[in-house]
Amino acid sequence: MKNILLCLLAVSVMLGGCSWWDTTAEVTKESWNTTKDFVDPPPEIDTEDYQFENPNQEKLAKLITPVDAPLMELTRFVENTDTLPGVDWMELLRARFTWVNRVLVTDEAGTIIAMVPELPIKRISKPLVFEGTWRNIHLLTVVDYSDLGPELYLGRPYFESIDFRGLIGVGFDPRSLLRKSPHPEQLVIIHPGGGVWTLGADVDKAALLAVDWNDLLEDSVHGEIQVGDRYYTWLTRYVGEDQYVYATESVEPGHTGSWWPF
C-alpha cells in the first residue's frame, strides 16, 4: 500500500508542474503525514494492560523477572540438544550463560566422559542421581548441597539414533542468579524438601522449609503464606519436571488480586 501511494503522489506532481507543487506544499505535507500515520502507524504500548491489582505480586514479579528469564533460556538451550554434544556446544553454553559453573556429559553408566571446565572450583559432594524414565522426560534437576553452597544441576538424556547413550548435565549455584534481581536481598528461592537460597535476606530458613509445600503445590501455583509473624507472597516455577518456589515478604499481607496470565 505504501508503494502505491508514493507512486500516485509522484504522478500528481508530474501532471501539475512545479507551480502546483509550490502552492500546495503545506497541504501535501499535511496529507502525507496523515496518510503515513494510517499506513505505518507509530507503535504504542498500552501499559494499563500490565498493571497489577496486587502490590505483593507486583513486587515479586519485579524481583524475579531478571532471574527467571535467563533460567528459562538455559532450560530451552539444554532441552534442544538430544545428541552427544561436542566441546564447541559446551563452550558456547558457558559463553552465553556465564553464571553456569560446569557442563558435563556421561555415558550410559553415569561415568563422566567430558566436562568443562576440567577442574571446576566446586567438587560434586555426592553422586548425582537423576531418577526418571528417559523415554518419557526431557529434563530433571538435582541439587548438590556441598560445603561451598548449593549447586543446581539440570540433566537430560542424549541418544544415538533411538538408543539412550548418557546424560548431559549443567550445574550452577542458584544464588548467582539471585544477583540478577534488582533487590536480591528481598528475594528467596525455596527448594521444597531441600533448602532455602538467599543473598542476605533476613528470613527464617528452617520455618520456610517446614511449610507443607507438597500440599500447597498440589492445588496452587501461587499464593501467600504466614511464617511466624511475617507473610510471604510466592510463585512456583517448573524447571523441567521439578518445582521451585520464588517468594518475597508481602507488602500488604492479605491483599488479593489476579496474577498475570501464563
Minimal CA–CA distance to 227: which of 245, 252, 246, 210?
210
> In terms of domains, do 96 and 187 share one?
no
Instruction: Return the CATH number at 164.
Output: 3.30.450.20
Q: Which of 30-39, 103-112, 246-255 has the lowest mean pLDDT?
A: 30-39
Q: Write the CA distances from 85 to 48, 51, 71, 94, 140, integer angstroms.
A: 45, 43, 20, 13, 18
Q: Within a domain: residue 231?
A: yes
Cα maximum dimension of the chain: 87
pLDDT tens by residue, 62-93: 999 999 999 999 999 999 999 999 999 999 99
Q: Which of 15-29, 72-86, 146-160, 212-226 has the lowest mean pLDDT?
A: 15-29
Determine the residue type at 97. F
Residue 22's CB: how many other CB atoms inside 10 A? Answer: 9
Alpha helices (runs of H) in 40-141, residue ranges in sequence order: 55-79, 87-96
Residue keyed to cell 500490565: 50
Whether the Cβ atoms of residue 97 and residue 171 lie closer than 8 Å to each other: no
Secondary-structure breakdown of the chain: helix, strand, coil percentages, each rounded to the nearest 5:
35, 25, 35
How many distinct structural domains can be found in the chain? 3
Q: Within a domain: residue 259?
A: no
pLDDT tens by residue, 196-211: 999 988 999 999 999 9
Domain range holding 29?
A: 2-38
Q: Within a domain: residue 236?
A: yes
Average pLDDT, the chain: 82
